[in-house]
C-alpha cells in the first residue's frame, strides 16, 4: 500500500515521516531522491545539459544555485526542469516500491498490506498522488507553520509568507483521505499511531 504524505511549509510532515521510519515503515523522500537522481541518473543528466548547458555540471558537480537562479527568472525553464525530474522520480518511486515488495525485510506490496510512505510537498502538482492508494495531508495553524519555518530555515517572516502564498494548502486538505492536525498539542508518535490506525481499518 503506497501512502502519500504531503503538507505545506512548516506543517511538520518531515517530522512525521521521521517518526514513521523509526516505527519501522519505509518512507521515500522525494526531495532528497530527486537531488540524487539529478546527480546519478544518466538520462536525467543528459536532459539537464540539453536545457541548461554543460555548465550545469561544472567540474562534475551539479550547480544547484545556477539552476535555481535561472528557473526563478524564467517560468518556462521551471516547467522544463519539472518535466525532466518529475517523471524520473515517479519511475524511481515505483522501483523503490517494487524492491520493497521483493524484499524479505518488508511485508509491503505495491498496493496491499503494510503501508509504505511517499513524502512530497508537491504530491498533487507532480502527479505522484496517482501512484498512491491513500493520501495523508499534514496541516497546522498558519502562525505555527510560520514560526516553525522561520526557526528551521533561519529565514524571514516575509520570505516564509511568500512561500506559503504559492502553496495550495486548501487543495491538500480537500483532496486528502486523512488530514493530520500537527498543531503541537498532540505528540508526533500519537499522530503517527492515528495514521496507522486509519490505514488498518
> Model confidence over 151-182: pLDDT tens digits?
887 778 888 777 777 777 777 888 999 999 99
Over the stretch 62-100, which tens digit does the pLDDT of each residue have?
999 999 999 989 999 999 999 999 999 999 999 999 888
Q: What is the pLDDT of residue 148?
A: 86
- Contact call for residues 42 and 75 (beta carbons, < 8 A): no
The pTM of this model reads 0.87
| pLDDT in the model for residue 110 | 47
Would you give the end-to-end CA distance of the chain in angstroms?
Answer: 13
Q: Are strands 2-7 and 27-29 parallel, antiparallel or unpaired?
A: unpaired
Please state, in angstroms and rounded to a whole number, the distance separating the CA atoms of residues 180 and 15.
Answer: 12
| pLDDT score of 9 | 85
Residue ranges of domains in the chain, CATH in brackets: 2-200 (3.40.50.300)
Structure-block grid coordinates of residue 54: 554543460
Nearest CA among 104, 118, 106 for reference residue 33:
118
Amino acid at each position: 500500500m503506497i501512502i502519500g504524505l504531503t503538507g505545506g511549509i512548516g506543517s511538520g510532515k518531515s517530522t512525521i515521516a521521521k517518526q514513521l521510519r523509526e516505527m519501522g515503515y519505509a518512507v521515500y523522500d522525494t526531495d532528497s531522491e530527486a537531488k540524487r537522481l539529478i546527480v546519478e541518473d544518466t538520462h536525467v543528466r543528459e536532459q539537464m545539459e540539453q536545457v541548461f548547458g554543460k555548465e550545469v555540471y561544472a567540474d562534475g558537480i551539479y550547480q544547484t544555485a545556477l539552476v535555481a537562479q535561472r528557473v526563478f527568472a524564467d517560468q518556462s525553464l521551471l516547467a522544463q526542469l519539472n518535466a525532466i525530474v518529475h517523471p524520473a522520480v515517479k519511475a524511481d518511486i515505483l522501483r523503490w516500491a517494487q524492491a520493497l515488495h521483493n524484499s524479505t525485510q518488508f511485508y509491503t506490496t505495491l498496493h496491499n498490506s503494510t503501508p509504505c510512505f511517499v513524502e512530497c510537498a508537491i504530491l498533487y502538482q507532480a502527479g505522484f498522488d496517482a501512484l498512491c492508494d491513500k493520501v495523508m495531508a499534514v496541516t497546522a495553524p498558519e502562525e505555527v507553520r510560520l514560526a516553525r519555518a522561520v526557526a528551521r530555515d533561519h529565514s524571514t517572516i516575509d520570505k516564509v509568507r511568500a512561500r506559503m502564498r504559492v502553496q495550495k494548502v486548501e487543495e491538500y486538505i480537500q483532496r486528502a483521505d486523512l488530514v493530520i492536525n500537527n498543531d503541537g498539542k498532540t505528540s508526533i508518535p500519537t499522530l503517527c499511531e492515528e495514521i496507522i490506525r486509519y490505514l488498518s481499518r
